[in-house]
Structure 1
Amino acid sequence: MVCIGSLRALVLRAAAAAGGRCRWPRVLCGGRGAVDACVTPRASVRHGWRGLRAATGARMMLDSSSSSSDSAASDPSAAGQVQPQRRALAAVAHAHDGGAGGYASGGWAREDGKLKCGYSSFRGKRATMEDFYDVKLTEIDGQAVSLFGVFDGHGGSRAAEYLKENLFENLMKHPEFLTDTKLAISETYQKTDADFLESESNAFRDDGSTASTAVLVGGHLYVANVGDSRAVISKAGKAMALSEDHKPNRSDERKRIENAGGVVIWAGTWRVGGVLAMSRAFGNRLLKPFVVAEPEIQEEPVNGDLECLVLASDGLWDVVENEEAVSLAKTEDLPESAARKLTEIAYSRGSADNITCIVVQFHHDKTG
């Protein structure tokens, strides 16, 4: 058991590097999401968006990450036995100029019309952008695969950026990705966290990030969550949260933290060690093993009852209810329009955080 005095000394040393949802002054490091395969950035700025150019009507694998794995995707042997064979899946992409104010949005549709997705990401009232997102529509060994993720950084943008660049790439390389997707997600989350901590071992910072992801494999939707970003679906006309925010005052989370030798302290809100207002996150080395990156995973069948999915950072959920979010996501013709409206609503209601939202619509009646 770690005594409160020694833990307090530990977290005081973390204070200089901790931020976002932490109590002490934040280390201001800019961050941004980027679109690469079908949407190409013209220029970028550290704290926002300078502009995006769309390859409108382009039909190719959609990948919103800049990745060095493209050669491995075209040549599976280059990555060894664990690399599934990936090939392009037709999609249409478009995006809009983000402008200097830290705003960007875009959308894609599967060629068969059965799935449409859109995103909106806004720096909002924060001085820096620490939200990232990732969208991938592809095919692995003949199986259609779609991956969506929202990553909300705190104490800096590096952890969220690392997840955007690596989490889904690592997941698709997992040897059990198609056969035991839940296991693959759980192991990949924790391995990616360990890899990130190793990559930052010599850095004088200790930032972290949430991860709320949705993976469509065949007829199944897998939603995994670490932190307080959230995934909500509309199923048979009703809003249903597929993730529960990881807060230190959740009875099961508090018990886990205390069993590991940590403490949960009230400091304006409930915080791990008086520092971090969430109980699970990537990164945050100085709060391990109390703050973990083990995901909670929910599985849903993709059938006629599943209407839409909303993934968003807490900049949205702080001021928008689950029911309102999915209701708007269903009624808008384009998911991009829904995502844009949701970010605008959150901002107008006084959200003080970065706001990032991904909307996915399912159209089961399409015949291709």
Structure 2
Amino acid sequence: MRRLVGLISTIYCSLIWFGFCLAVEIWAESRNWGSSKMGYLNSILPNSSGSQADDSPVSGGGLSQNGKFSYGYASSPGKRSSMEDFYETRIDGVDGEIVGLFGVFDGHGGARAAEYVKQNLFSNLISHPKFISDTKSAIADAYNHTDSEFLKSENNQNRDAGSTASTAILVGDRLLVANVGDSRAVICRGGNAIAVSRDHKPDQTDERQRIEEAGGFVMWAGTWRVGGVLAVSRAFGDRLLKQYVVADPEIQEEVVDGSLEFLILASDGLWDVVTNEEAVAMIKTIEDPEQAAKRLLQEAYQRGSADNITCVVVRFLDGKDYNAHQQQAQPSPSPTSSSSSSTNSPSSSTSSSSNTVSCENSHHLLSLLCLV
């Protein structure tokens, strides 16, 4: 009898929880939200949208004037009907230095935050007075300044919009990788895959402690979420969760030497289905970084990635590699900047959606739960 009562209690609790999640989802859909960063039902129900990715993703690449690196990118909505990924590949001159700036920005709650970060982060960074002399400090300042300016610019609009960022800055023989959120950076050094960023998830001990000390909470809703809503613990934007979801980047510096072969920056549309080691092994022999980025994107799509997919690959060159690339690639003018084409550009998307649940409207959720 006790077992029967226990079984009935378990089933009852499961139904109540599912009803709560369904109520949240219905309410979120009524607000025109629908992002993989949020929404419990997205993780347990099959995708019924029927949308397919374009077989020809946006892609491109270039070569630095000093012959030290080449780069390529590929980006596609994947199986999603909307596009919230952005990327930036840029070569600029700062105080006599040729600087490479590369970034992947994965939006949630619409594309607005990711678009803003793409358009402003690197400009804010290279205009920082300490960009060359104290690059780490300049990166941290640029991240937080861009976040604060985005929140000011929106005037309480797009209050649920947010974005990850995974960026790589090349200055001389230094590679500085910074990130917030779960877009990831991985290098190949000496043939080995090495993660040079950490995915910011709310269940990580230090992240959870920081959130709780700020007055927030972390709960399970398909995955661990800040306030039961957001699956990343650091991001640009996210006005309603800003007290807990900060834009403070973690920064890692690497020396660019003969053992450093290439760098991959990608949104979680790749990393959800491809491991670091698999990604590195997959493109190790592909010298053209654009083709390497396209290869990663195609593999993620074939493995069933349910998210937008964006990859940037930077290959570090020695003299022999440079001569080969000069014959294959046309050098990019200075400064150079690349972003999505008009056909598949996130900026051309008219639909902005997310399953973010506003904290200030939590009483609506309780009302919906009662209805369920």
TM-score (normalised: structure 2): 0.73
Offset, 1:328: 2.6
Match of 1:240 in 2: 194
C-alpha spacing 1:17/1:210, structure 2 compared with 1 (3 Å): farther
Q: Given the alignment of the two structures, is residue 165 of structure 1 paired with residue 119 of structure 2, yes or no? A: yes
| Contact persistence 1:308–1:329 (CA under 8 A) | no
Match of 2:102 in 1: 148
Distance 1:263 1:335 in 2: 42
Distance 2:158 2:268 in 1: 27
Q: Given the alignment of the two structures, is residue 287 of structure 1 paired with residue 287 of structure 2, yes or no? A: no
Which of 125, 128, 149 is equivalent to 1:195? 149
Q: Secondary structure at the match of 1:352?
A: coil
| Contact persistence 1:18–1:206 (CA under 8 A) | no
Match of 1:22 in 2: 38
Q: Secondary structure at the match of 1:164?
A: helix
Q: Secondary structure at the match of 1:331?
A: coil
Which of 284, 293, 296 is equivalent to 2:250? 296
Q: Given the alignment of the two structures, is residue 174 of structure 1 paired with residue 128 of structure 2, yes or no? A: yes
| Contact persistence 1:19–1:207 (CA under 8 A) | no
Report which stretch shifted further, 324-333 or 163-172. Answer: 324-333
Offset, 1:17: 7.4
Offset, 1:363: 1.3
Higher strand share: 1
Distance 1:224 1:316 in 2: 18
Offset, 1:313: 0.1
Distance 2:180 2:144 in 1: 10
Match of 1:320 in 2: 274
Distance 1:283 1:112 in 2: 36
Match of 1:264 in 2: 218
- 1:94-113 matches, within 5 Å, as 103-113=57-67
Distance 1:306 1:290 in 2: 36
Match of 1:206 in 2: 160
Offset, 1:236: 1.3
Distance 2:237 2:40 in 1: 17
Q: Secondary structure at the match of 2:319?
A: coil
| Contact persistence 2:113–2:150 (CA under 8 A) | yes
Q: What RMSD over aligned residues (CA atoms) do the two structures have, in Å?
A: 2.3
Match of 1:96 in 2: none
Offset, 1:201: 1.8
Consecutive unaligned residues in structure 1, runs of 5 or more: 1-10, 27-46, 49-98
Amino acid at match of 1:256: R
Match of 1:351 in 2: 305
Distance 1:23 1:303 in 2: 43
Amino acid at match of 2:39: R
TM-score (normalised: structure 1): 0.74
Q: Secondary structure at the match of 1:341?
A: helix
Matched-pair identity in % = 60
The number of aligned residues is 287
| Contact persistence 2:106–2:164 (CA under 8 A) | yes
Distance 2:88 2:167 in 1: 9
Q: Secondary structure at the match of 2:178?
A: strand
| Contact persistence 1:329–1:361 (CA under 8 A) | no
C-alpha spacing 1:204/1:239, structure 2 compared with 1 (3 Å): closer
Distance 1:292 1:226 in 2: 8
Match of 2:14 in 1: none
Higher helix share: 2
Distance 1:184 1:304 in 2: 27
| Contact persistence 1:17–1:155 (CA under 8 A) | no
Offset, 1:102: 7.6
Which one has the largest radius of gyration? 2
| Contact persistence 2:174–2:253 (CA under 8 A) | yes
Offset, 1:364: 2.2
Match of 2:208 in 1: 254
